[in-house]
Amino acid sequence: MEKRIGKKIYLIFFLFFLVVLLFSVLEYKTEKSGNRRIFYFSALNSADIYNEIRYEPSEISGDRLREVRYFVDELLLGAMTNRFRPLFSVGTKVLFCHLDGDVLYVNLSEDALLEKGGALSIKDGTDFFRMNVLKNFGNINTIMMFIGGKQIVYDELVND
Q: Strand 150-151: give its sheet, edge to edge.
A: 94-100, 103-108, 142-147, 150-151
Q: Quick check: is 89 in a domain?
A: yes
pLDDT tens digits for 104-123?
Answer: 999 999 998 887 878 888 89
% of the chain with per-residue pLDDT over 90: 42
Domain that holds residue 83: 36-159
Classify residue 31: in a domain, yes or no: no
Instruction: Establish if 27 belongs to a structural domain.
Output: no
Flag whether 138 is in a domain: yes
What's the number of domains the chain is made of? Answer: 1
Residue 15 lies in a domain: no
Query: What angle in degrees, to the nearest 10, is found between the helix axes of 64-77 and 122-136?
Result: 140
Is 88 part of a structural domain of the chain? yes
CA distance 96 to 113: 17
CA distances from 50 to 38, 41, 46, 117 (A): 10, 5, 11, 19
pLDDT-based confidence at residue 156 (cuts at 50, 70, 90): very low
In a domain, 28, yes or no: no
Higher-confidence position of 33 and 24: 24
Q: What is the pTM of this model?
A: 0.74
Asked if pLDDT for residue 51 goes beyond 70, the answer is yes
Question: Which CA distances in Å does 58 have to 19, 34, 69, 79, 93?
Answer: 27, 4, 14, 21, 23
Residue 59 pLDDT exceeds 60? yes
Euclidean distance between CA atoms 57 and 89, whole angstroms: 26
**Integer Cα distance of 119 and 105 in angstroms:** 22
Q: Quick check: is 26 in a domain?
A: no
